[in-house]
Amino acid sequence: MDSPSEHGWEDLCRRCGECCFEKWVDDHGDIHPTAIPCRFLDIITRECKVYHKRLEVGEGCVKLTPQVVEVVQWLPENCAYRRRVHGSDG
């Protein structure tokens, strides 16, 4: 069962779905989003169609914990988790 703090963390997500699009890395190591969504993203609602088993379906989905958000480079600048962890809220 999730703890209350885990619920609070999950509630931060704006369900924008921007993290669920393919990205590519250029020769300089910069990450660029594409218009290609994960096959499990509902592009109308922007919700994952397999959210509760997203880590098991083989698409490389990563559970976004504070520790993960601290180090990954591919979350969009306006991601609520990124803004919380990197102190750019508000």
80 in contact with ligand SF4 (CB under 6 A): yes
14 binds ligand SF4 (CB under 6 A): yes
57 near 40, Cβ under 8 Å?
yes
16 binds ligand SF4 (CB under 6 A): yes
Note whether 23 binds ligand SF4 by CB under 6 A. Answer: no
Helix runs in 1-90, H state only:
4-11, 66-71, 80-85
Q: Which residues pair with 21 in a beta bridge?
A: 37
Candidate ranges 11-19, 24-32, 33-41, 51-59; the one touching ligand SF4 (CB under 6 A):
11-19
Contact by Cβ (8 Å): 31, 23: yes
**Binding residues for ligand SF4 (CB under 6 A):** 13-19, 64, 75-76, 79-81
